[in-house]
A and B are shown apart, each in its own frame.
Chain A
Amino acid sequence: MPEVGQIALLILAIVLFAAGGALSLARLQSEAPRLRLAAKACLYWGVLVALAVLVWHAARRGNWRPLGDNFDTLIWLGLLLALFVLYTQRVHPLRGLDWFVLPISILLLIFAAIFGRATPHEYVDSTWSWVHRVSAYGGAVAFAIAGAVGGMFLLSSRRLRTRRLAPGPNLGSLERLERLTLAWVTLGFPLLTIGLITGLVRALDPRVHDSLGPHWYATPKVVLAFAVWVVYALVLHSPINPVFRGRKAAVLSVFGFLLMIGTIVATEFMKQ
């Protein structure tokens, strides 16, 4: 159970991420270097504060293994996304990436504050369960990035097709955005597959099986997770079947990500 202090610190991290995102958006109006530096500073501080929450929570819990409970898992997801933004902007900048990724990160941190109070069951500590969580949530991070980049592709493609002088920076070439989408789907798909297999193994565990009931395979979490797998299988198919390339792949990656959000929500609401 997260303490009030941890929740308060988490809210500070959310505020810092939101401020960083807002300052970055403000650069649409002004190219002042101060805005860029302030946005970056907010993001760095947000990452540090979120990391502090994780350390505090792990120390309190006495278990340093990540993804031990919902609170810690959702913060990790949000943190990894923010770190991805910082890494990309440093190594190979992509203007506007933070506008698309940071909202997801903020959403995950808000989820952590709301759903993080759920108490994990004892089977969460099993190796299968941990592998399931790591792979499934690892896949979710990859798909979140693929979805965000897919959104950037759609916006950029629309701007190019309508030939309008839309405000805002060049969001990166369509070729790069498509390549990034495919790369993250390629990474996320095996992780999700492992997550599904380990989830299946876990569902067959009598302790979990009894808890989920006889129709566990028809629960929203399982159905949505399978739908996500099918959608990303189609995206991954695009190099072989080019009908799915370009806009279609981007639409599918955004759609798959929305399903993924649905899966996470379903996971938090359904019985463990």
Chain B
Amino acid sequence: MQRLLLLGLNHTTAPLEVREKLAFNNAQRRAAIEAFLARFHGCEAVLLSTCNRVELYVGRDAHGAPAVEEMSRFLSEFHGLQQAAFQEHLYLKTDRAVIEHLFAVASSLDSMVLGETQILGQVRDAYETSLQLSATGPSLNPLFQRAVAVGKRVLTETALAEGRISVASVAVDYAQRIFEHFGDKTVLCIGAGKMAILALKGFEALSPRELLVCNRDPDKAIALAQRFRGRAVPFVDLPDHLVSADIVVSSTGSQQPIITRELFEGLRRRRRYRPVFLIDIAVPRDIEQEVSQIENVYLYNLDDLQQVVAGTQSQRREAIDAARAIVTRHVEEFAVWHRQREMGPVIDRLYRRYHRLAQEELTRTLGKTEGISQPDRAQLEEMTRRIVNKLLHTPVHTLRRSERLGTPTAQSVHALEKLFWLDEHEENCAAEPDEGDAAPQTPRQDGA
């Protein structure tokens, strides 16, 4: 019996300063999955790390490792953080709640910007990374494959992604609240990621005087600069470019801030105290929050921009409702499928075991009785089979309805395995009680 677990935090439970400390870049994610599998053999794991969330999905035996505490400790140790630094922001979900959550995430219904399309790709990337590392199996493979399919359906069948205000467009709007003309302004882009490209598209439309691209990898900088008719500049000269820039878009993968208050304070005089619009869309952040305290500096990070976008979501209520309906339907379908898949082998074992016991008892009785014809023998066999079926009908029916009755499937299945000795190992080892053993005497049901 497998169990689904999810431990994570997101933009609703943790502020940016906590999320950025727990964030994983691609290389870290691979390393984390490998370390996780090395520590907890036999389990499945997918690590989803985006600007808004860090979530560890685990599929494991119902009573296997890791426990929730071990998952939390793993995150803490991987990042060298005290558990107390993020513990209060974590949420834990199990089984059906994991399915509901992941489907909502993939459909961008759990995003700060509802209808954003990036999250679907990020879910797929997270899954594929684990797939390549053989970290997924019968639990997480169908779950993530279905989640991606549901996400696609929501984005194609509803208007959730239409009329959406993007983070980049909000950044451009805010730039227009600071500056009147852009023909005399310089836009500096630090980093060359997807978010930087989206932001640059918006700023290119404002026709700034100059567009500078600054990246540690000069080839990427040149490619991006050519695409936007800008100029690639060396990363080592960043302070000089900050002097000439009026708008700075930063989205590097740096684990440490690249623009500190100290650095920017030192540039103010050279900048002649001109106002500057700093857009930090990196997680972890590239620009120290203290920079925003400097006069004439307007610093916006990803959360600030996303909150503005989120403020416009009430206008798309119909699309959101339609998307939720799709997700709910698919969660139900998947949950039923998942439950049956989990229960099937157990129920099968239950019937096989008791039919075998009944058959053994019948054979023993028939061996002691003489003169029973073949048709009578067939009748008795059929009666025995029906008795077993009727006896097992109630526990099996209760098991199938366990989720609706408020008991997690895993818990009911586990109870059934223990009560009826269905654990494969135990089944093989356990000796069947003889007639003389202390097996409880069951009342006859024929009323005799």
Contact = CB atoms under 8 A, between A and B. Distances in A.
B434 interface: no
A246 B298 CA distance: 12
Contacts of B177: 156, 160, 170, 173-174
Nearest to A178: B275
Contacts of B407: none
Contact of B272 (A163, A242, A247): A242
Contacts of B308: 165
Contacts of A161: 292, 298
B274 interface: yes
Interface string A131-170: 0000000000000000000000000100011010100001
Interface residues of B, number: 20
Contact of B304 (A163, A242, A243): A163
Contacts of A31: none
B377 interface: no
A17 B249 CA distance: 44
B273 interface: yes
Contacts of B181: 175
Contacts of B174: 160
A174 B274 contact: no
Contacts of A163: 300, 304, 307
A165 B309 CA distance: 10
A245 interface: yes
Interface string B299-330: 01000100110010000000000000000000
Nearest to A161: B298
A243 B296 CA distance: 10
Interface in B256-315: 272-275, 292, 295-296, 298, 300, 304, 307-308, 311
Interface centre among B273, B292, B311 (most CB of A within 10 A): B273
> What size tier do the contact residues of chain A reach?
10 to 19
Interface in A229-264: 242-243, 245-248
Given A165-B307, A242-B272, A247 B295 contact: yes
A61 interface: no
Given A165-B307, A242-B274, A245-B273, A173 B179 contact: yes
Nearest to A175: B180
A247 B179 contact: no
Interface string B83-117: 00000000000000000000000000000000000
B383 interface: no
B176 interface: yes
Nearest to B303: A163
B178 interface: yes
Given A160-B298, A245-B296, A247-B295, A174 B176 contact: no
A152 to B, nearest CB: 12
Contacts of B307: 163, 165
Nearest to B297: A161
Given A160-B174, A161-B298, A165-B308, A246 B180 contact: no
Contacts of B275: 174-175, 246
Nearest to A176: B180
A179 interface: yes
Contact of B273 (A174, A179, A243): A243
A246 B246 CA distance: 14
A208 to B, nearest CB: 44
Given A163-B304, A165-B307, A247-B296, A242 B179 contact: no
Given A161-B292, A165-B308, A165-B311, A174 B178 contact: yes
A163 B178 CA distance: 13
B300 A175 contact: no
Given A173-B178, A174-B178, A179-B180, A246 B273 contact: yes
A260 B344 CA distance: 87
Contacts of A174: 177-179, 275
Contacts of B179: 173-175
Interface string A172-186: 011110010000000
Contacts of B273: 242-243, 245-246
A173 B177 CA distance: 4
Nearest to A245: B273
Contacts of B295: 246-248
A161 B307 CA distance: 15
A246 B296 contact: yes
Given A163-B304, A242-B273, A245-B273, A173 B176 contact: yes
A224 B11 CA distance: 54
B177 to A, nearest CB: 6
Interface centre among B179, B180, B272 (most CB of A within 10 A): B180
A160 B296 contact: no
Contacts of A242: 272-274
Interface in A38-57: none
Contacts of A156: 177
Contacts of B176: 170, 173
A175 B273 CA distance: 13
Q: List 10 A-B pairs, minimum CB-CB distance, nearest first.
A: A175-B180, A242-B273, A176-B180, A242-B272, A173-B180, A163-B304, A246-B296, A175-B179, A174-B178, A160-B298
Interface of B: 174, 176-181, 272-275, 292, 295-296, 298, 300, 304, 307-308, 311
11 contacts: A161-B292, A165-B307, A170-B176, A170-B177, A174-B178, A174-B179, A175-B181, A242-B273, A246-B275, A246-B295, A248-B295
Interface of A: 156, 160-161, 163, 165, 170, 173-176, 179, 242-243, 245-248
Given A179-B180, A245-B273, A246-B275, 10 more contacts: A160-B178, A161-B292, A163-B304, A163-B307, A165-B307, A173-B179, A174-B177, A175-B180, A175-B181, A245-B274
